[in-house]
Structure 1
Amino acid sequence: MPLTTDDLSTFTTRGMIVKRNFVPASLIDDATALVTNWYHTGLDQRRITEFTQRTFAPHLGDHRDLLALFYRSGVAELAGELIGDVAPVTTTQIQIRVPEDQLDQAQPEKAMHVDGIACPHLDPAELRTFSLLVGVVLSDIIDPAGGALRYVIGGHLQMAEWFRTEWSLGITAQAPPHIDAELGIPLLGKPGDVLLMHHLVPHAVGRNLTAIPRVMAYFRVSHVDRASRRLDALRDPWLDFPPLTARLR
């Protein structure tokens, strides 16, 4: 099902769209079984910080059952409606918020940030930005205290202004103070729900105080020209979205 005019308007003003029950159950079941098996048999808690900063189950990143969530579900087509010429997506990031009472050590929380900018595990002068964050829900997320992603509505426009007027490459702050102080809106949902979020929307992730692991599959989607204009795309939030801007004129 293509994006509607209301979807596009919502993406423009809020910076994100959630498509409920979008990914077919068969694809969700295959991906969930893969990740769940690794979680129960391969999770090394000594690497919890590494997994949190990068990806859980790193060896599964290019597995066909995970990439199918993007390519065989209709999600790739949604991304194309927003971006147009999409660079190949070759890997999946798995993010799990482990229930706190099941951990031997604390899982790091993530303060308000934009991915790929001043990350704790990156050189501040290094940019690993992209155009669109796509998230596929793989577990029930019904409680905000369950490690839900929290995002700032309309924050993509505020971040673009900050990048234009105050920020420069090498600054270690991940967001301006007024954004950093935001609690954010929790992303709640069920397996098969899809988040399409502008890269510049600041977001955070906290502790999981429930008994259920929160599992998300993420895809970082880029316009084919993104690598040659990373700085420009931070300052102009619509540079990577020509089909969107054309349809809303």
Structure 2
Amino acid sequence: MALTAAEKHAFMRDGLLVRRGAVAADQIARARDLVGGWYRESMNPALISSYTQRTFAPELGSHPDLLALFADSPAAELAQDLLGNLRPVSTLQLQIRIPDGQLEQDQPDKAMHVDGVACPHLDPEELRTFSLLVGVVLSDITDPQAGALRYQPGGHLAMAKWFRTQWSLGITEQVPPDIDAHAGTPFLGRPGDLLLMHHLVPHAVGRNLGPEPRIMAYFRVEHPDHASRRLQALQDPWLDYQGLPQAA
């Protein structure tokens, strides 16, 4: 299950890699049952903006069957391959893109951004960064117009340069104009697919024009030293990646 040298080099180039069908079907089924039950019975439509900015189903954030998508799947080993070491993962983020027209108020889009930097719900002086975003697909994502995550391959290198040369703490722009101008590449997949994406890869999420909710489970993974060097990690994309050849 470990990453090959070719996969590591591809990750360094693109800022992400995908393992198809990596998470076991029984784990996906348990997770889907939990999230589906919450969606049908407990979701408060009035909180749609909060859910979108933070997490859906916050009360499920530490549920063992959801944490197992990371801890008891290849995700943990692959993340360690990249980072060399990582802090324990004790919570997750659930993101659902709801089909247009199923709520009285529209679900907010997520503009092109890097997580934890100049977020609309944070003080511009506050950083909530991490090292690696791990995503597990919980629903079919085969239509790029159905709420797919849109990312910019190689954008982690451009963002690191911007953070080094033009950005400073307190700036409210989330990405530079040339990055913001690109719609991004849709991430498509099926339940059980695994996404590992560098924290600095810019990404966005738009409307779901399909018939079904799009559901992803995300884990924000940190190198143990990340919290003490957040600014440096924005400027040096490989600082936290002790498992990669360039960091060796």
TM-score normalised per structure 2: 0.99
C-alpha distance in 1 between matches for 2:136 and 2:10: 19
Map 1:115-194 to 2 at 5 A. 115-194=115-194
Contact between 1:69 and 1:136, CA under 8 Å: does it hold in 2? yes
State the match for 2:236 in structure 1: 236
Q: Deviations over 1:148-200 (max 9, x none)?
A: 00000100000000000000000000000000111100000000000000000
Q: Which runs of 5+ in 1 are unaligned?
A: none
Question: In the alignment, residue 77 of structure 1 is paired with which amino acid?
Answer: E
- State the percentage of identical aligned residues: 63
Q: Residue 69 in 1 paired to residue 69 in 2?
A: yes
SS in 2 for 1:38: helix
Contact between 2:238 and 2:246, CA under 8 Å: does it hold in 1? no
SS in 1 for 2:233: helix
C-alpha distance in 2 between matches for 1:239 and 1:245: 12
SS in 1 for 2:243: helix
The structural deviation recorded for 1:132 is 0.1
C-alpha distance in 1 between matches for 2:103 and 2:246: 48
Question: In the alignment, residue 75 of structure 2 is paired with which amino acid?
Answer: V
C-alpha distance in 2 between matches for 1:178 and 1:221: 28
C-alpha distance in 2 between matches for 1:107 and 1:55: 13
Contact between 2:134 and 2:220, CA under 8 Å: does it hold in 1? yes
The structural deviation recorded for 1:72 is 0.5
The structural deviation recorded for 1:245 is 2.5
The structural deviation recorded for 1:103 is 1.3
SS in 1 for 2:141: coil
Q: Which runs of 5+ in 2 are unaligned?
A: none
State the match for 1:52 in structure 2: 52
Question: In the alignment, residue 61 of structure 1 is paired with which amino acid?
Answer: G
Contact between 2:100 and 2:208, CA under 8 Å: does it hold in 1? yes
Question: Which 4+ runs in 1 deviate beyond 2 A?
Answer: none
Contact between 2:95 and 2:215, CA under 8 Å: does it hold in 1? yes
C-alpha distance in 1 between matches for 2:185 and 2:18: 13
Question: In the alignment, residue 128 of structure 2 is paired with which amino acid?
Answer: R
Question: In the alignment, residue 146 of structure 1 is paired with which amino acid?
Answer: A
Contact between 1:238 and 1:245, CA under 8 Å: does it hold in 2? no
Q: Deviations over 1:77-109 (max 9, x none)?
A: 100000011011110100000001211110000
Contact between 2:150 and 2:186, CA under 8 Å: does it hold in 1? yes
SS in 1 for 2:244: helix
SS in 1 for 2:101: helix
State the match for 1:24 in structure 2: 24
Q: Give the number of equivalent residue pairs.
A: 248
SS in 2 for 1:101: coil
State the match for 1:221 in structure 2: 221
Question: In the alignment, residue 131 of structure 1 is paired with which amino acid?
Answer: S
Contact between 2:95 and 2:218, CA under 8 Å: does it hold in 1? yes
C-alpha distance in 1 between matches for 2:56 and 2:191: 18
C-alpha distance in 2 between matches for 1:235 and 1:187: 26
TM-score normalised per structure 1: 0.98
